[in-house]
Structure 1
């Protein structure tokens, strides 16, 4: 049996009106939902450009056109970034969705509960985290076994040297007659590095009519000089990975927070750093990082230990050393101080311990962001193999290589004037330093800048001025570090230091 419903004209008009209202209601809901997904503005806090922030602006526009969202880049001078982050965390401000800031601030931001773990985002196959991200980068991204930051710029210190000068057979012969052995190209130990620097110091080895230097470094207080000393102390302080479960321990005993800066190993390394100043470097105490880069690219120094930025700088128009610079791990030592047993240990192989000074610029998502998934989408776009390979090859980005796949995409380097073989050597060395088994991840604990810059560098530079011996200066540093640890809370600092080390 079929039933038929007879609808009057009045009833039809009434039902039609209801349908229209229902349609408009659901349409309005869809617009509200769309507004939640499309057309959002995310705010990124980072350093004033063109370096670091420049690529964010360029790729922000690209990503915005693809997604309909907008990227607002909030720039600040480097010295102002940390206070801005600290203030935003204190008042729980939602002013920033993303931070592109120093990796060494990770502990502070985690302690303030201002950044969120990113582990669920890196599971996206497009990120290629498991296969394409080196183990050394993962160490810097991880804190307390969680991924809180993602490196966009891979910072560490390594050796730059003039291949043509150190490889000159005539110079090698003269060196052998003077020192009684043939040096390696590049030097492999710190003692050898000092000898080679002394040999090439203060004479005209490139026949340009003026004297050059063997080695160049920063010596000025307030000019990152403390970072320039770490590569000297590390090989004598860091216990090799085959003798300890957690490698890369350099600053404190992780079980007590007792400083290692005044132990015999650290002190010997700083004594070697001071010795280099007496024998193989340019005179003066007012050298800064800009001087280091310029002296290398202008052909006035044979060697330096510095960040990877020297590599792209050698291809600037003012450079006279294009294709003449070699890259290597920082020299090491055949002995180290075992601070657990208080004994010197001799090694058959050279103990190398590259230091990831500053660690690099990292992406973080704030816990106050209203749109963490959208922020993560932009972050993943910036870090994608396609985009990041362009950025790390650009001399104007300020980013250093950090993906394995960046070893293969050399076309971008050639576009920027690099010789293919030189780019390959530069990239390979950067990844080798990054993955070095004894590498030291720069200090990530609350108050890190107070430990390293305010205290350590202050007394480190008194060694250069002759006010203190190395041991005297490091004893003062150790005492000041102990006082700072007590003020911040020893148990808390131990916990954070172990999280930093991913201590086992």
Structure 2
């Protein structure tokens, strides 16, 4: 009888604790656990510029107030974050505690031993149920070869932006269908993207051009997306010879070059800023770019002085959002928060990462003007607060969710930077006038050299790990 009474009491206690456990919050758990490290300092790596302002203006001071832990921010340009992370680890000084890692670098930082496996910390401090709230494509980012090495803090996906007023214009719709045989609507293929760009340019130039794109700085993202939507694979897995110069590669690169002819004069040298300016000023009818444009075209989040460079919008309430042509947009860059294996404050470093990644804290971050954090949780897309930021925010969030769910991960194997750089130079060469086939053959030859330098067998294993992810190849 006593045994039965004891079991009944234990069951009652577990039942009573059920709601509390269900409501457990990763942010609150991180704060409570971190208080034991009050008075210490953690050094956090942040991308220089708007991104770092999230840590310096908001998260760092808030974390110190909540936990007593000071946050020292090291700002690094994007192109230096990976190299300095590796160099710092090789020096073994423990100069960084909480790291910033782009998913493309994961194979490299893991193979170099430059990141701490996080599974023991998640088991100790985490709330695993919160991982169910992460869009599956972004959840894939966190894991390499079965181990968790980072927590998502920024979910990037390329988006198609288009002028609803021009696409809905009755005269445009009639004329377009008469010429091309299908309805004027957000493009479902890259051929349609080119058709629409040419049609609108022919009608409205020089006042307005049918499309504008980014042709400098980030071209490997745009080629990589088109290449895979055309069915391309990066390597022959048996030989590890590059296949970027395949029929799919030639089709993708030729389209990019040819479609530039229907865009604004000087398009060949446009970067992110030029493209944003043209969209906000009403000079282009369509583009493909990162999520912040969704807010900035509506004049949302640009009242912070750090965003004074963002051009005033003339297209508020005129911009629509769509999943990119092909249906599988690039998950271009994004960031994970990770822990240095050389940190002298690993638990405190991890707890800051868990707090930033958590449901409650991350929702604040993706709505703030600085930081350039973009939604990655299902609760972000469904947030009434986010949906109320502007009249069509709900439509925007639907596109981000759908696009990311079917998105294509950045390449991530050994020496990823070198492969990306070779890809970008090949694309830029073709945009500058070189024969696309020649540019692709040169890229393939350079990729083969890099693979030989890494070691064919070593690279094959890293490639297999990446290629096994659902977001590597969607077809």
Q: Shorter chain as normaliser: what TM range?
A: 0.7 to 0.9
Contact 2:380/2:386, CA 8 A, preserved across alignment: no
What residue is the counterpart of 2:245 in the other structure? 262
Matched position secondary structure for 1:443: coil
Confirm or deny that 1:69 pairs with 2:69.
Answer: yes
Q: Distance in 1 between matches of 2:315 and 2:370?
A: 19
Q: Distance in 2 between matches of 1:152 and 1:445?
A: 21
Distance 1:202 1:501, change over 3 A: same
Task: Kindly state the Cα deviation for residue 165 of structure 1 after the two structures are TM-superposed.
Answer: 1.2
Contact 1:312/1:395, CA 8 A, preserved across alignment: no
Matched position secondary structure for 1:216: coil
Task: Kindly state the Cα deviation for residue 194 of structure 1 after the two structures are TM-superposed.
Answer: 0.9
Residue from 273, 276, 283 that aligns with 2:259: 276
Contact 2:149/2:338, CA 8 A, preserved across alignment: yes
What residue is the counterpart of 2:343 in the other structure? 369
What residue is the counterpart of 1:131 in the other structure? 132
What residue is the counterpart of 2:457 in the other structure? 491
Contact 1:176/1:182, CA 8 A, preserved across alignment: yes
Matched position secondary structure for 1:93: coil
Contact 2:387/2:397, CA 8 A, preserved across alignment: no
Contact 2:230/2:248, CA 8 A, preserved across alignment: yes
What residue is the counterpart of 1:353 in the other structure? 328
What residue is the counterpart of 2:416 in the other structure? 448
Q: Which moved more, 1:291-300 or 1:36-45?
A: 36-45
Contact 1:252/1:258, CA 8 A, preserved across alignment: yes
What residue is the counterpart of 1:470 in the other structure? 436
What residue is the counterpart of 2:178 in the other structure? 177
Task: Kindly state the Cα deviation for residue 255 of structure 1 after the two structures are TM-superposed.
Answer: 4.1
Calculate the TM-score normalised by the size of structure 2.
0.84
Task: Kindly state the Cα deviation for residue 279 of structure 1 after the two structures are TM-superposed.
Answer: 3.1
Task: Kindly state the Cα deviation for residue 408 of structure 1 after the two structures are TM-superposed.
Answer: 2.4
C-alpha RMSD of the superposition: 2.3
Residue from 390, 394, 402 that aligns with 1:432: 402
Cα displacement string for residues 218-258 of structure 1 (whole angstroms, at most 9, x for unaligned residues): 223xx2222232332221125xxxxxxxxxxx422344322
What residue is the counterpart of 1:218 in the other structure? 214
Distance 1:79 1:189, change over 3 A: closer
Distance 1:284 1:435, change over 3 A: closer
Q: Which ranges in structure 1 are unaligned for 5 or more consecutive residues?
A: 1-33, 239-249, 333-351
Q: Which moved more, 1:45-54 or 1:268-277?
A: 45-54
Contact 1:230/1:355, CA 8 A, preserved across alignment: yes
Task: Kindly state the Cα deviation for residue 148 of structure 1 after the two structures are TM-superposed.
Answer: 0.9
Identify the structure with the greater helix proportion.
2
Distance 1:228 1:368, change over 3 A: same
Q: Distance in 2 between matches of 1:36 and 1:182?
A: 62
What residue is the counterpart of 1:228 in the other structure? 222
What residue is the counterpart of 1:140 in the other structure? 141
Q: Which moved more, 1:113-122 or 1:489-498?
A: 113-122
Confirm or deny that 1:290 pairs with 2:279.
Answer: no
What residue is the counterpart of 1:338 in the other structure? none
What residue is the counterpart of 2:390 in the other structure? 418
Calculate the TM-score normalised by the size of structure 1.
0.79
Count of aligned pairs between the two proteins? 425
Distance 1:202 1:394, change over 3 A: farther
Q: Which ranges in structure 2 are unaligned for 5 or more consecutive residues?
A: 1-33, 303-311, 471-475
Matched position secondary structure for 1:151: strand
Contact 1:199/1:214, CA 8 A, preserved across alignment: yes
> Between Structure 1 and Structure 2, whose CA radius of gyration is higher?
1
Matched position secondary structure for 1:330: coil
